[in-house]
Structure formats: structure tokens, C-alpha cells
Amino acid sequence: MPSAEQMPVGQHKAASDQAPNARVRDLILAMVMVALCYLCVATQPALAAQTVEVRDGDTTINRISVRDQTRLRIERGRVLDVSGDVYDAQKAPGGRVLVLKDEEQGEVYLKPVPPVSMRGMDGSLLPGSMVSAIPAIKLDIKTDRGTVGLLLQPADVVGDTITLRISGGELRSASQDQRGSKANPHIRAAKALTLAMAAPALAGEVPSQRLPRGGQEVALWKEARFVLVARYDLPGLVGDAYELTNLSAQPMVIDERELYAPGVVTVGLRHLNLAPGASTSVWIVRQAGND
């Protein structure tokens, strides 16, 4: 049995042995925490590109970076021309989006031009600017797979890629697209009315009526709730704005062709795919008198 004089020596040795072990343990723990933090950062998902399904002749609504360039490409196709609110230093200095063409790849790069009140000396967006106050930008995109409209809402996000997956149009050449560019005035009016419903800021003086008490529910599908929320009028045309909600427990894929009925001219949706409980705006333009 150790003497009383030996006990402190033994205890001192034990304490001195434990100190390095504790330091090693703390060092290992710190290294593990650093590794975990690095792993979490490294595995953060990258900003996903936007793949948009749209039919030839329809208009889609998308977000666009107000600070960075946004790449626009066509799935299995090429961009032939971009028209609309396009900036040109000589011809259209009041244009609101700069378009840079990549002729080799058949793509374009879009960069919004901030309003003068939000623009610095170098043309860039001033810090602290209210991006949400910038109105949407309307463009028409002519491609070898059809012509679609883009309603772009500037947002303070990182620039990414918008891929248009166009259906309902045949592969065509640039010369064919030019020959077919003179659309029926009735169709052009229907597209303008769709834009007025999708972006009220662009509606101008189009007469509209919002339905009271949350709108009028319309029978559609048992797994969906379909509510008429507003109505717009143009000579010979009526635009109905709806909200469609997925009531089922399964994802819903919407085919806008199912919403066509006698007298309907155009159908537009904000989203074609709905998660359970999710909603989307639906815009239907029909001939007046087809109630």
C-alpha cells in the first residue's frame, strides 16, 4: 500500500497524463467540427437553372437577375431574334434590357437596364435600391421551334440560365419565322390581354373587375380547386384570371389543353407542375359572349 508521501506524487502524475490527453481530444474535436463545416458548405446545392415548359405562342413569367447576366437558351433549338423592350444606345435608349447574342450557340444573354433613378454613374444598380419596384419586362423570343413571350420580373438574385422547352411548334428556319411573324390581330390582342392579367402593372387602362369575397369557385377536377378571381374586358374578348390549387396528396402536372373549351382563344399558367397544396395563376382569354 503506498505511503502518505507517495500519494500526491501519484496524483500529480495522473493529472499531468490527463492534460495532454484532454488537449489532444479537444484538438481532434476541433478538427472534426471544421471538417463537418467544410462538408456542409461543400454540399450546399448550387443555384438551379430554370427549365420552363411553354407552348408555341404562349407567354411565361420568369424571374431575372437585376445585377447579373441571365443566359437564355432553347432546348434542342436556337434563338433567332429577340424583340420588345430591348435597349439600344441609338435606336432604343429607353429600352429596359440589354440583349447580347451568341450566334454560334444560338443563345442570348439578358441584362436589365435599371431605371435612371436607380442607376449609378457606371450604369449599375445603386446599393439599397428597391428592386421590387422595378416593373416587369416584356420580350418576344423567336426561335426555330416557335415564338413565345417572356414576362421577366427583375429580382436581386444571382444570374442563372433559363432553358425554354417549347412544345406545339415545328422546327423552322429564320426565313420561315419571318414569313409567319405577322400574327392575326385577334391573337395579338388575346396575348396582350393575357399579359395584362399576368402583370397588372402592364394592364394600362384595360377595364377589370375583381370578384368579391375571395372569388367564385368553378367546378373543374375533384382533385383541384378552381377559383375565378378577376375578369378583364377588351372589345370582342374577355379575360378570366383564376387560381388553381392542387387538393390531392400527389404532384399535379397540368396540360393547358385540358382548359380549352369552345370560344377559348388562349390559355396561360404561371406553373405547369404543382406540389400537393400548391397553387398557380391561370389566365384564360375567350371570345366575348362565350360564357
pLDDT in tens, the chain (291 residues): 454 444 444 444 444 555 556 666 665 655 555 444 444 333 333 445 778 888 888 888 888 888 889 999 999 899 999 988 888 878 888 888 899 999 889 999 999 888 777 767 666 777 766 666 677 888 899 999 888 888 888 888 888 899 998 887 555 444 444 444 444 566 667 777 777 777 766 555 555 666 667 778 888 888 999 999 888 887 888 888 899 999 999 988 887 778 888 888 888 887 878 889 999 888 888 888 766
Same domain, 206 and 173: no
Q: Which cell goes with 238?
A: 374577355
Residue 255, in any domain of the structure = yes
Same domain, 177 and 205: no
Q: What's the structural domain count of the chain?
A: 2
Same domain, 141 and 54: yes
Residue 105, in any domain of the structure = yes
Residue 1, in any domain of the structure = no
Domain of residue 100, residue span: 50-182
Same domain, 155 and 218: no
Same domain, 146 and 215: no
Q: Is 112 helix (H, G, I), strand (E, B) or coil?
A: strand
Structure pTM?
A: 0.49
Which CATH number does the domain housing residue 259 bear?
Answer: 2.60.40
Same domain, 165 and 77: yes
Residue 194, in any domain of the structure = no
Same domain, 174 and 61: yes
List phi, psi (to 5°) of 257: -65, -25
Same domain, 204 and 171: no
Q: What angle do CA 200, 89, 91 make, to 5 degrees?
A: 75
Residue 24, in any domain of the structure = no
Same domain, 95 and 138: yes
Residue 2, in any domain of the structure = no
Q: Based on the number of CB atoms within 10 Å of its own CB, is 283 exposed (0-12), middle (13-18) or buried (19 or more)?
A: buried
The amino acid at 248: S
Residue 23, in any domain of the structure = no
pLDDT tens digits for 239-283?
888 999 999 999 888 877 788 888 888 888 878 788 899 998 888
Residue 95, in any domain of the structure = yes
Same domain, 164 and 281: no
Strand partners, 231: 209, 240
pLDDT tens digits for 127-146?
766 666 677 888 899 999 88
Q: Which of 126, 147, 182 is the last residue of a domain?
A: 182
Contact 41, 29 (CB under 8 A): no
